[in-house]
């Protein structure tokens, strides 16, 4: 059978299966993300029915999925809101780095790995998955919640930090030394600052070039601009996801509103492909030996993420239920952690790092969306109310 025919059959069957899984997940009140990941494990290397002809197609679709998730996230906020959020969330971003990067580095040293592996594992445990969290917030109907800007502010700081971290760790793993790492970091800094300046000062001008009257032209213009900027950012060793996010920030007004409506179906399609691809790239047979260490690391760093979100929301004046929702929402790791682990695998610094990172990300990305639903259950709400009642001071007698 012709390879194109096999590709069509595989992709068609996979998308139909994802549709059924998504419907099942929503019917039982569960985010479809864990089901998509499990589907990827079932059809990947070492799975039940490996896909052969469509892997390259799915890999490209997965990259587009991450880009669309991030541009849709950027469309939620204007450039001025981004700046104010960054200023307000800077202390939370610092706490986030300390609470979540240091445990990863310490864990690597505990396992007897070198400082390069410690630098890599610190990044894997530090950064949350913007794509997964954005999808979870949308699935749970929390995009309009008061704590959502706090969550997004922490994610923005992490994503921008990755724009500087990834070139640095790439240079270190390539053996380029401090000089090469400094040069790569300087290019990243200049690129991000330039894009931010354009987004803040000329965002409205850029939006005026895109017509909202022609739906077809709007879709092609925004989609094409997003892919172009993401590709240029990746070529300059800055994250493609960060580039897509900044495109969303640059667009404002009616263009942002209509683009959100038109890109939503595409985002959902390619985001599902991304989560499947993550499962496809993982061999289940490699994970059992490192499952217990990965589980311990996941429990530790998911707890520190909850603490990070709790403190960030409390600083923003959010009540206790919102603080808990913030912390629980930040737990999943995903696309950036996979990219960082891939860099380490290519360098060959530590053979056990790849299966550990894969198991760790799978644990957080499967359990995170499930645990994020806890505040929606009645028993959890009652427990929080009792906690708030106990914490309230008893009024003095008149």
The whole-angstrom distance between residue 296's C-alpha and the CA centroid of its chain comes to 21
| 382 in any annotated domain | no
| 398 in any annotated domain | no
- Percent of the chain exceeding pLDDT 90 equals 16
CATH at 280: 1.20.1530.20
Are 230 and 201 a contacting pair, CB within 8 Å?
no
- Radius of gyration of the chain from Cα atoms? 21
| 105 in any annotated domain | yes
| 124 in any annotated domain | yes
- Identify the band that residue 46 occupies on the pLDDT scale cut at 50, 70 and 90: low
Q: Which of 195-204, 207-216, 304-313, 339-348 has the highest mean pLDDT?
A: 304-313
Among 129, 102, 104, smallest CA distance to 117 is for 104
Write down the pLDDT at residue 310: 93
Are 332 and 132 a contacting pair, CB within 8 Å?
yes
Which pLDDT tens digit goes with each residue over 58-115?
878 888 887 887 788 778 766 666 666 677 778 888 999 999 999 999 999 999 988 8
> Whose structure tokens read 């679709």?
61
Q: How many residues does the chain have?
A: 398
Residue 32: strand, helix, or coil: coil
Model confidence at 188: pLDDT above 90:
no
Are 147 and 163 a contacting pair, CB within 8 Å?
no
Which pLDDT tens digit goes with each residue over 225-268?
889 988 887 777 666 777 787 788 778 777 877 888 888 888 88
How would you class 95 by CB atoms within 10 Å of its CB: exposed for 0-12, middle for 13-18, buried for 19 or more? middle
Taking the CA atoms of 325, 141, 67 and 349 in sequence, report the sign of the dihedral they define.
Answer: positive
| 389 in any annotated domain | no
Q: Where are the alpha helices (DSSP H) in 28-139?
A: 33-43, 55-74, 79-110, 115-126, 130-139
| 395 in any annotated domain | no
Q: Is 78 left (phi over 0), alpha (psi -120 to 50) or beta?
A: beta
Query: What is the average per-residue pLDDT within 140-150?
Result: 85
Kindly state the tokens that stand for 355.
């299966």
Which pLDDT tens digit goes with each residue over 3-13?
778 888 888 88
Q: Is 214 left (phi over 0), alpha (psi -120 to 50) or beta?
A: beta
CA distances from 101 to 93, 94, 121, 330 (A): 11, 10, 8, 14
CB atoms within 10 A of CB 175: 9
Model confidence at 317: pLDDT above 80:
yes
Are 312 and 92 a contacting pair, CB within 8 Å?
yes
| 384 in any annotated domain | no
Q: Please give the torsion angle defined by the CA atoms of residues 70, 73, 77 and 80, in that order, rounded to the nearest 10 degrees.
A: -30
- Identify the band that residue 135 occupies on the pLDDT scale cut at 50, 70 and 90: confident
Domain count, the chain: 1
Give the C-alpha separation, 219 to 213, whole Å: 11
Q: How far apart are the first and last CA of the chain?
A: 88
| 388 in any annotated domain | no
Which stretches does DSSP call E strand in the chain? none
Instruction: Kindly state the greatest CA–CA separation across the chain.
Output: 88
Give residue 282's domain range: 3-23+31-375
């Amino acid at each position: 059978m012709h390879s194109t025919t096999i590709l069509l059959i595989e992709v068609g069957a996979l998308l139909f299966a994802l549709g059924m899984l998504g419907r099942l997940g929503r019917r039982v009140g569960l985010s479809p993300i864990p089901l998509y990941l499990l589907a990827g494990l079932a059809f990947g290397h070492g799975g039940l029915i490996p896909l052969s002809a469509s892997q390259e197609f799915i890999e490209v679709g997965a990259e587009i999925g991450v880009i669309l998730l991030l541009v849709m996230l950027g469309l939620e906020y204007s450039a001025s809101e981004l700046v104010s959020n960054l200023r307000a969330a800077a202390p939370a971003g610092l706490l986030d780095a300390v609470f979540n990067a240091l445990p990863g580095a310490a864990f690597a040293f505990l396992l007897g790995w070198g400082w390069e592996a410690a630098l890599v594992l610190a990044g894997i445990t530090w950064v949350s998955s913007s794509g997964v969290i954005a999808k979870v917030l949308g699935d749970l109907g929390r995009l309009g919640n008061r704590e959502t800007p706090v969550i997004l502010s922490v994610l923005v700081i992490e994503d921008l930090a990755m724009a500087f971290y990834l070139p640095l760790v790439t240079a270190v793993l390539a053996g380029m030394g401090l000089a090469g790492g400094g040069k790569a970091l300087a290019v990243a800094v200049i690129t991000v600052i330039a894009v931010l300046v354009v987004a803040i000062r000329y965002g409205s001008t850029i939006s005026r070039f895109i017509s909202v009257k022609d739906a077809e032209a709007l879709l092609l213009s925004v989609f094409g601009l997003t892919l172009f900027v993401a590709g240029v950012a990746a070529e300059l060793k800055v994250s493609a996801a960060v580039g897509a996010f900044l495109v969303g920030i640059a667009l404002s007004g009616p263009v942002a509103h209509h683009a959100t409506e038109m890109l939503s179906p595409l985002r959902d399609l390619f985001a599902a492909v991304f989560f499947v691809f993550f499962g496809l790239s993982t061999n289940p047979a490699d994970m059992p030996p490192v499952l217990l260490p990965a589980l311990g690391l996941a429990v530790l760093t998911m707890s520190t993420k909850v603490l990070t979100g709790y403190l960030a929301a409390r600083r923003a004046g959010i009540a206790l239920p919102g603080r808990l929702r913030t912390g629980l929402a930040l737990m999943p790791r995903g696309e950036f952690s996979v990219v960082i682990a891939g860099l380490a695998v290519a360098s060959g610094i530590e053979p056990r790092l790849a299966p550990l990172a894969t198991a760790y990300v799978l644990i957080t990305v499967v359990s995170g969306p499930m645990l994020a639903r806890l505040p929606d259950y009645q028993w959890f709400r009652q427990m929080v109310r009792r906690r708030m009642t106990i914490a309230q001071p008893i009024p003095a007698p008149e």
